[in-house]
Structure 1
Amino acid sequence: MSLIAKLKRALTLAALCMATCPAFAQSIDIDKPLTIAKQGSFFVGGRDITSDTLSTLPQADPKGTVTVEQMYVQYQVPVHPSSTSVVFIHGCCLTGAEWETTPDGRMGWAEYFVRKGFPTYVVDQAARGRSAANAASVGAVKTGKLPPDALPSGFSVGREFAWALFRFGPRYPEAYPGLQFPLEAQDELWKQMVPDWAYSMSTPNPTVPSLGLLSGRLAKTVLISHSQSGIYPFQAVAGGADGIAAIVAVEPTACPAANVDARPYTRVPILLLYGDFIVESPPWAAHYAACKAFAASVNAAGGHVDVVETTQLGMHGNSHMLMQDRNNLKIADVVTDWIKHKVH
């Protein structure tokens, strides 16, 4: 039986059992109070810099040592945890909040995976959200110690550009028919978006070695990436990181090249997960084709890469923001079922 057929069967059985099996329904009842064993936060990675341009304000000493590019991690552990942890890595212009409550107030994947028994870790990429950026060059330019072109390269994405990027529709504000994203709450999504400094940092992004450190600390984890961060778990695996049990790349903007040495990627099962309207978006059609070529290369080398579109599972109208779409929990079930089948 193919993976698609297995996932379809699992979703059908789950739907039937939720209606007829009280014990099963109770185990994933999203209306019950959430019970956890522990929660908290910590930082991973980073580096120290010493600078004399840390401040341009008279009340703060511009000279000193600070830590930058560390990765913030927030976690919740259920009472009866699985031996497999999951790490959620957000995409471009966003923070770890994308995995939390949806823009229209529904449960996000971060909580749902905890309810499904997984210790869950949500990160903010280096220089994003609660992970510190390096602002020393800003002070150096403002005080004339460096030229203006020494400023870091950052960008913000407007909702007009994000509309097509997130595949809500072909152009702002036109929506695709049957779109699953809750457009009535779009203002709450726009509030989540922040300046992105990813292109002002080294390659690989400092988030990558931090993911390696976190995976080694957790010992058995599934890295679940999205969009811009899609390449990061692959880079961590290729770099020899320990503790990575599987990769789930939700609509990655990039995968390793198809002609790359595939051997590092044969060591872990990989799921590439996509939504709808890809053929309507030339950029996403190109990303998808490149990742499918990578998957074929790894599978030919003896690896295990599954490429799944929600439309193959009978779900239509999904945007790039799969974790926030109206059927986000059904899609989460696809991911958790895949993890249970693939990670041992």
Structure 2
Amino acid sequence: MMTEDYLKIKAQGVFAAGGIVQTASGTFDPIKGQMADDGQIRHSDHASIFYQIPADGNGKAITFLAGYGQSKNGWMSTPDGRDGFSNLFLKKGYGVYLADQPRRGAAGQSSVPVEISAKPDDLNWFTQFRMGLWPKFMSNSQFPQDEQSIDQFFRQMTPDTGKIDFQVITQALVASLEKSGPSVMMTHSQGGVPGWMIGAASDNVTGIIAIEPGSFFFPENEVPAKIDTKYPMPVQGVGVPMATFNKLIQKPIVVYYGDNIPDEPSEVPAWDFWRGVKQQAHQFADVVNAHGGDATIVYLPDEDIHGNDHFMFQDLNNAVIADHMAAWLVSHKL
């Protein structure tokens, strides 16, 4: 029986974008087949895009780029089976384009080899993502904490099948945007750096929503001093040519951070890292706005939205956060 809460999809599909074709020397012999390397070709380093367009949409689109160890699946649902961001924004009228970056997920065909580790490390990410200190969650956590949901969350992780190359990711996503047309970029975590690059490289990017990026672009002569934390690596901005920076800041930018980011140095290195990142985020916004751009930093507790971790788009209140982002989109006519 159909309920009132359903989606009517006008179009959906999958396509590959960008990438290269490797060609071995010689002439391929179809009789020898796999026994022969001469003349073989390999299509690799593309992005894989799943898209859906709502029947009664607003004519606008969002392209989603996942963070480290994640694929497009993380945008589609939540560990406890609620609507993910792709459905939530479809219901708001947006076409959604969910990207697997080159060398990951459904875009796993790589031009370079890599050894995939099988080392157990799930619980490190539990700390890094500010979910808590295993096995205890943060006292105000909005993450679904039943055993099945935790199992589903950890099973989202997926390996890279080749070295992460931001230039390769950028080229593939720029090609994707040439197919999709104008779109807001929504990035998460490690997806933030190629998100800045894609925003600077493509006129089809109309705005950027960055969820907890770990690094930011600055003009080459305005990179702030590195921020040392108790994490093994300092928080360090990336210097880019002024022309590149100016292209990026032609698009409105909003950056979201969840809860439980310490204001003072923390004994937990992974959490202290986020203290430094949040500090640099404000430096980024100050520089963008000083150069005539439009950058906003949203710290959810300041908006009276509490208990969110690094995966705010999967938390129990993800619909509240989607509403907040949608309000920003509408205010910028996106």
Taking structure 1 as the reference length, the TM-score comes to 0.79
Superposed displacement of residue 71, structure 1? 0.4
CA distance in 1: counterparts of 2:71 and 2:36, whole angstroms: 29
CA distance in 1: counterparts of 2:54 and 2:123, whole angstroms: 39
Is the aligned partner of 1:166 residue 2:129?
Answer: yes
CA distance in 1: counterparts of 2:117 and 2:210, whole angstroms: 24
Judge conservation of contact 2:45–2:111 (CA < 8 Å) in 1.
no
Q: 1:146 corresponds to which residue?
A: none
CA distance in 2: counterparts of 1:117 and 1:75, whole angstroms: 13
Paired residue for 1:214, among 168, 173, 176?
Answer: 176
Q: 1:175 corresponds to which residue?
A: 137
| RMSD of aligned alpha carbons | 2.1
Give per-residue Cα distances to partners, 1:187-240, cap 9 Å, x unaligned: 001111111356x24342x2211221222333321000000101112112333x
Partner-residue secondary structure (3-state), 1:60 = helix
Is the aligned partner of 1:275 residue 2:258?
Answer: yes
Q: 2:227 corresponds to which residue?
A: none
Is the aligned partner of 1:264 residue 2:247?
Answer: yes
Is the aligned partner of 1:339 residue 2:329?
Answer: yes
Q: 1:34 corresponds to which residue?
A: 7
Aligned counterparts, 1:1-344, within 5 A = 32-51=5-24, 60-61=34-35, 63=37, 64-134=40-110, 137=113, 152=114, 154=116, 158-169=121-132, 171-184=133-146, 185-197=149-161, 200-204=163-167, 206-239=168-201, 241-257=202-218, 259=223, 260=239, 261=242, 262-279=245-262, 281-343=271-333
Judge conservation of contact 1:219–1:242 (CA < 8 Å) in 2.
no
Judge conservation of contact 2:47–2:176 (CA < 8 Å) in 1.
no
- The one-letter code matched in structure 2 to 1:173 is P
CA distance in 2: counterparts of 1:85 and 1:33, whole angstroms: 19
CA distance in 1: counterparts of 2:36 and 2:329, whole angstroms: 49
Q: 2:234 corresponds to which residue?
A: none
Superposed displacement of residue 31, structure 1? 5.5
Bigger fraction of residues in helix: 1
Mark the runs of 5 or more structure 2 residues left unpaired by the alignment: 26-31, 224-238
- The one-letter code matched in structure 2 to 1:60 is Q
Judge conservation of contact 1:48–1:66 (CA < 8 Å) in 2.
yes
Taking structure 2 as the reference length, the TM-score comes to 0.82
- The one-letter code matched in structure 1 to 2:34 is A
Judge conservation of contact 1:83–1:220 (CA < 8 Å) in 2.
no
Partner-residue secondary structure (3-state), 1:287 = helix
Partner-residue secondary structure (3-state), 1:75 = strand
Mark the runs of 5 or more structure 1 residues left unpaired by the alignment: 1-29, 53-57, 138-151
- The one-letter code matched in structure 1 to 2:151 is D
CA distance in 2: counterparts of 1:212 and 1:192, whole angstroms: 25
CA distance in 1: counterparts of 2:153 and 2:166, whole angstroms: 28
Superposed displacement of residue 60, structure 1? 3.4
Judge conservation of contact 1:220–1:243 (CA < 8 Å) in 2.
yes
Give per-residue Cα distances to partners, 1:127-152, cap 9 Å, x unaligned: 11100332664xxxxxxxxxxxxxx2
Partner-residue secondary structure (3-state), 2:210 = strand
Identity, in percent, stands at 27
CA distance in 2: counterparts of 1:136 and 1:86, whole angstroms: 30
CA distance in 2: counterparts of 1:310 and 1:180, whole angstroms: 12
Aligned residues between the structures: 292
